[in-house]
A and B are shown apart, each in its own frame.
Chain A
Amino acid sequence: MIFWIGKLLAPFHAFSFLRLAEYLSSRSIGAALTAVLLTLWLTPKVIWWLQRRAFVDQVRETGIPSAFDKAGTPVMGGVVLVGVVAFSCLLWCNLGSGFSLLVLFGMVWFGAIGFVDDRAKMMAKSGDKGMSEPKKLLLQGAFAAVLVAVLASPLSPVPAHEASQLYLPFLKSSVLDNPWIYFPFVFVFVLLVGNSVNITDGMDGLAIVPSVFAISVLGVFGYLLGNAIWSRYLFYPLLPGAGELAVFASAFAGAGIGFLWFNAYPAQIFMGDTGSLSIGGSLAVASVLLKQEALFVILGGLFVAEAFSSQVQDKIGIKLLGRRLFARAPLHHAMAYNGLAETKVVVRLWIVAGILALAALATLKLR
């Protein structure tokens, strides 16, 4: 909104300072600050409101000494996250850009699925009785299908000659240009990545910090790839308008840090599926729009490891073979099983996520 106001009024001398509103850098800073302050102001009220409506976490026995007695913590902090990011983006993003619209749509859609799931769990008073897995996948698949349809159409914000190119990290040119392979891949990618954060969200502060790292790196990519000079210098395809993702990422990072204020151990609020799915959805859409799908293996390596260990344990080990393949899964539970306190697990995994984010940034130049 401010972007438009700026455009409208900047020609008038009295409002010439509004030219700032056209710069990505100033809009990004504005978005981050708005999000942080809004989250800090809003979350206590939301905690109070959730508590009153008994939207609180249900008893879950984890067997970890330092992670007990958490039942009763308000859940659905993701609502604040999604709301604040959306608000901040409405203020600071160029809403005429397909980049900002698609990523916002992804975040809200996935967040809404998570919200319904959280609500169902609250109603059933059980941590296991949320939305059924097929139903969740169906709703997420619907979004992925829409995304693919948009990307394959002339409405796509990605230039047509790039539409079905697949890039790998460390390689300068695309490895594949076949819509019949690329678009199904995008569909599956969105489903996998969209759900990966959900499994990581098992300890106080564990999901939000790596998410902030990942989305920030994607923001940097967006800024550079949307910029003609930088993209030429780094030999990336130019994606005009991708800079909007930097503004989105800033808003997200701001809201995430504001959320951490309350979510740090011992947490006063959990993000719930609302939060974890909306983060997953945002990461998935941003990666696809920036043509950095394969980078997610590095950038979101922590999420991948968490989701992979959990799926292998559950689907292959427990369901098929009738035994545990890992002592515990997902990863953070395995670390706690080995005798690490929750706080220690979380900080160690932050460090891992930080290293992975730096490695992902390094791929910008190492090609």
Chain B
Amino acid sequence: MRPGGDRRDAAPRMLQNPAEARRVKTGTRILLTGGGTAGHVNPALAIGAALAGPGSETLFVGVKGRAEEQVVPREGIPIRFVRASGFPGARPSPAFARFLFDVFAGTTQAAAILLRFRPDVIVGSGGFASAPVIFAATLLKKLGLSKARVFVHEQNAVPGKLNRLVGRFAEKVFVTFPETLSLFPGNGALTGYPVRGRIGHVAPQEARARLDFTVPEGRTVVLAFGGSQGSRSLNRGLVDALGDLMPHAGRLFVVHGTGLFKGGGYDAEADTAARLAERYTEEERARIATFYLARSYFHDIASVYALASLVVIRGGSGSLNEVARMGIPALVVPKANLPGDHQVANARALERAGGAEVLYEETILSEGHLVETLDGALLARRILALAEDPVRRADMSKKGRDVLGIDAAAEIAHHVLHGRARVALDPTLVPAPTVVSNAVLLSRLEKAATAAGRSYRVEDVVEPRDLSWFRSRAASLLVHDEWEARNLGVKLLGLLGATDKVPLLLALLADRTRAPLFHRLLGGDFAQVGFVRRNVFTALARLDVVDAGVEEALLAGLADPYWEVRAESARTATRFAGRLARSAEVVAALGTRLSDPNLEAASAAAEALGALGGEEDALPPLLALAEHRFWKVRAAALRGVLSLVERGQVRNREALKRVLSGFLLTSTDFRPQFELKLSYRRVLEALSRGEEAP
């Protein structure tokens, strides 16, 4: 909402105590590094300002084309650039090769800058830009070419991989959340989040006078904003919530910062206005105008803060710290599936401390597209609950300030100068927040599902508290650009028992966007690749929901161009036997599948026919497989016949016996038995039985 640079006139230097600044020896050479986003640049600048003293010189090292290129020169600090890129994961790929090259080139460039600037203190604030500088500094120190002391500040509750590595080379790692300390044993120090300047505590009366809009007296002011660029789901969710807030218009006032984002088919301000016009009648809009005000951007955020009793924000470390320090209770809507899920971790850390509540987004189907949304009604309920509970708000305000209200920049300056903390901060070590990653969650669930088999229940594996959040996070993977992520989401939804997400899964199947030409030339078909479609059926079978949409998908799946999808949908049909409204159509489709060129699809169809069909429609096609060239298909046909017999579908048993005698029974495979291993296992089984008995 307020890009960092705009506070410079409002704010004097961070350090409140000028005497402290004088203790920095004259001519200290400070090198700041970090960036990529304003969230990394601003803390670095704040620390730099706190360290700067008379005669000191500051240089910023960042990456060209990122936030720092704009922000830093405006502060009057010279900036130099190095090559750097984010860590793409350690597997052989062009991106990884480029990353290695960038690290190498960036470190060389940084070394050159370090040799020329000869800094006394280096402060890295994370983001990939700081890595090459810290590597170079460590290297030069080892070679005896540099005496610079190296410090790192970590803004998020869960540091990125690169920052974790970089932290090892630092003299000290300053962390924002107590949870993070356990990741830097030995050199971690809790300091909080340094902000540049102070957003002055404006008195409410003065704030009213300074603002260019009027807030009626006696209202509870709710400030909602999704960062300087804005957040689509938060903006839309808030507009949707207004309807439910209307009855409370006399007691509430909602100030909405939509953000400045324009591009990619989304214009934050225009979209918000359009949604308002679309959802509410003119009469309602007039009513809403009495308690709602939207701006793309607030030049005097301090005055808005001064009036706000509650904020609705994203989980970025910068905004969280700011509002907590201002003592404003927060309703946090973290963005899911960011690296290390750091917004969620931040939000949960503040929630645990008692300074915030967390509200998650959902992925839903809207006009055939999957979109991430914030449920307006839910948001309204949560806003009202907090707005009408001043006691709880006061408690949150105090607790938020307790954790994040530290003057971090001064604290860090003290650490650098004196090597110890200025104020005693709560030294209790809290274990690092465990936001289980999707991949870890999947392997945990898969293991449990394999072990438990049919009796698998997700509630036995996942805590109920986390379940809905895991489900919504998995659903949000379905809109991901990479099919691997969507695939992961599909698998998770199945194992998480997310029956309410079935429409989303069906939307993936219905999506027939073609794959890029290059992929199609190599054998690909649709953007929702074969594995994704196959796993949707696996998930549907697990979720065990049968409705018109699922049946439609089943029929489509049996005619899918990819054989694994055909096979899997046939297996899913078996599972749904007896519950399908369009059973006859499915049986007909399965009948044609028997001649599938792929033996797995043909086998699965044969078994499904046995489970779904009857003597007239299923038995003849199954018996026609008597001389099929693959024995596996013949075996599946026999299993199909067996289920027909067991289901009492066969009346003329003697005739069936006669026909079966014509089955081709030679096969090219067998199952060996290793007598020795069998005996060995029998002994083990006997032994473990003995353990249970007294």
Contacts and interface: CB of A to CB of B under 8 A. Distances in A.
Interface of A: 64-66, 68-69, 133-134, 266, 316-318, 320-325, 327, 336-341, 344
Interface string B597-637: 01110000000000000000000000000000011100000
Interface in B525-569: 525, 529-532, 562-564
Given A338-B599, A339-B631, A320 B668 contact: no
Interface string B663-682: 00001111110100100000
Nearest to A322: B529
Contacts of B483: 322
B671 A339 contact: no
A111 B632 CA distance: 39
A64 B669 CA distance: 9
Most buried by B among A266, A337, A339: A339
Most buried by B among A66, A322, A340, A344: A322
B97 to A, nearest CB: 10
A341 B531 CA distance: 28
Given A327-B598, A338-B599, A321 B522 contact: yes
Contact of B564 (A66, A324, A337, A339): A324
Contacts of A341: 668-670
Nearest to B90: A132
Most buried by A among B598, B630, B672, B677: B672
A339 B519 contact: no
Most buried by A among B530, B600, B630: B530
B667 A323 contact: no
Contacts of B139: none
Given A65-B670, A65-B671, A339-B631, A321 B92 contact: no
Given A338-B630, A341-B668, A322 B532 contact: yes
Contacts of A336: 669
A148 B347 CA distance: 58
A320 B671 contact: no
Contacts of A344: 668-669
A336 B631 CA distance: 12
Most buried by A among B484, B515, B524, B674: B524
A328 B274 CA distance: 53
A65 B670 CA distance: 7
29 contacts: A66-B672, A69-B674, A69-B677, A133-B92, A134-B92, A266-B672, A316-B522, A317-B523, A320-B519, A320-B524, A321-B515, A321-B523, A322-B524, A322-B529, A322-B531, A323-B525, A323-B562, A324-B564, A325-B523, A327-B598, A338-B599, A338-B630, A338-B632, A339-B599, A339-B632, A339-B668, A340-B668, A340-B669, A341-B669
B671 A323 contact: no
Nearest to A335: B668
A66 B670 contact: yes
A323 B630 contact: no
Contacts of A323: 523-525, 529-531, 562, 564
A286 B282 CA distance: 86
Contacts of B671: 65-66, 68
Contacts of A339: 599, 630-632, 667-669
B487 interface: yes
Contacts, number: 73
B523 A66 contact: no
Most buried by A among B525, B531, B564, B598: B531
Given A133-B92, A322-B483, 16 more contacts: A66-B669, A68-B671, A69-B677, A317-B523, A320-B519, A320-B524, A321-B522, A322-B487, A322-B524, A323-B564, A327-B600, A336-B669, A339-B599, A341-B669, A341-B670, A344-B669
Nearest to A67: B672
Closest 3 CB pairs of A and B: A322-B529, A323-B530, A321-B524
Contacts of B522: 316, 320-321
A316 B668 contact: no
Nearest to B669: A341
Nearest to A134: B92
Contacts of A325: 523
A65 B599 CA distance: 16
A14 to B, nearest CB: 55
Nearest to B667: A339
A318 B532 CA distance: 12
Most buried by B among A316, A321, A327: A321
B593 to A, nearest CB: 16
B486 to A, nearest CB: 9
A341 B600 CA distance: 17
A361 to B, nearest CB: 31
A312 B447 CA distance: 29
Nearest to B632: A339
B27 to A, nearest CB: 47
A36 to B, nearest CB: 28
Interface in B172-213: none
Nearest to A70: B674
A64 B677 CA distance: 18
A284 B375 CA distance: 64
Contacts of A64: 669
Contacts of B670: 65-66, 341
A336 B667 CA distance: 12
A135 to B, nearest CB: 11
A324 B667 contact: no
A322 B535 CA distance: 11
Contacts of A317: 523
Interface in B630-672: 630-632, 667-672
A339 B602 CA distance: 14
A283 B672 CA distance: 34
Contacts of B487: 322
Contacts of A321: 515, 519, 522-524, 529-530
Contact of B530 (A316, A322, A327, A337): A322
Nearest to B527: A322
A324 B530 contact: yes
Contacts of A69: 672, 674, 677
Interface string B496-536: 00000000000000000001000100111100011110000
B523 to A, nearest CB: 5
Contacts of A65: 669-671
A193 B630 CA distance: 34
B420 to A, nearest CB: 43
A276 B578 CA distance: 52
A139 to B, nearest CB: 15
Contacts of A68: 671-672
B638 to A, nearest CB: 14
A320 B516 CA distance: 11
A337 B603 CA distance: 13
Contacts of B598: 327
Contacts of A133: 92
A327 B667 CA distance: 20
A339 B529 CA distance: 27
A134 B90 CA distance: 11
Most buried by B among A320, A340, A344: A320
Most buried by A among B484, B669, B674: B669
Nearest to A316: B522
B561 to A, nearest CB: 10
A103 to B, nearest CB: 30
Interface string B455-484: 000000000000000000000000000011
A68 B673 CA distance: 9
Interface string B420-461: 000000000000000000000000000000000000000000
A316 B523 contact: yes
A324 B601 CA distance: 14
B103 to A, nearest CB: 16
